[in-house]
């Protein structure tokens, strides 16, 4: 390989490693102002068209063209995290629950995203996080 080609390959590997590390790192946010804490869980309300505020995170519920849902968190004008709704795990008159994954750090504690609940209107719901230090491993 030429020296130039080696440099390009090395640069591509560094960029790929950075992208993987950034994707796996928890979203670091201040403690939410509007939250529902049940033991070691945090439940945050989400809604379509959630208002953007300067000093607190905004949790937005988005329905994709494939009729799945995503929750975006924006803070200080930037998207800080995205949580995709996975498999539907429950459905009732109060709405639908979907599995999700990802990490968020509130204050000094790391939480794992576990459930996205979508109300029957499809425009609101909540996302539930579980304290990572309290979850069983494996």
For 16-44, what is each residue's pLDDT tens digit? 776 665 555 666 665 554 555 666 788 88
Percentage of the chain lying above the pLDDT 70 cut: 75
How many domains does one find in the chain?
1
What is the per-residue pLDDT across 99-125, written as a single tens digit (0 to 9) for each? 999 998 887 788 899 999 999 999 999
Instruction: Tell me, yes or no, if the pTM score tops 0.85.
Output: no
Extract long-range pairs of 59-66: CB within 8 Å, 24+ residues apart: 59/127, 61/116, 61/118, 61/123, 61/124, 61/125, 63/122
Q: What range defines the domain where residue 75 resides?
A: 3-134
Task: Report the pLDDT averaged over residues 47-73.
Answer: 82
Beta bridge partners of 124: 47
Q: What is the DSSP letter of 14?
A: H
Task: Report the pLDDT averaged over residues 36-53.
Answer: 76
């Amino acid at each position: 390989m030429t020296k130039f080609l080696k440099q390009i390959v090395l640069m591509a590997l560094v960029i790929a490693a950075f992208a993987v590390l950034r994707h796996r790192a928890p979203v670091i946010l201040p403690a939410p102002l509007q939250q529902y804490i049940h033991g070691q869980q945090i439940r945050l309300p989400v809604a379509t068209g959630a208002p953007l505020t300067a000093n607190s995170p905004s949790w937005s519920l988005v329905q994709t063209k494939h009729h799945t849902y995503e929750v975006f968190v924006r803070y200080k004008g930037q998207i800080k995290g995205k949580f995709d709704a996975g498999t539907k795990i429950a459905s009732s008159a109060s709405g639908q629950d979907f599995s999700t994954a990802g990490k968020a750090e509130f204050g000094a504690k790391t939480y794992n995203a576990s459930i996205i609940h979508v109300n029957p209107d499809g425009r609101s719901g909540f996302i539930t996080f579980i304290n990572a230090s309290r979850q069983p491993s494996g």
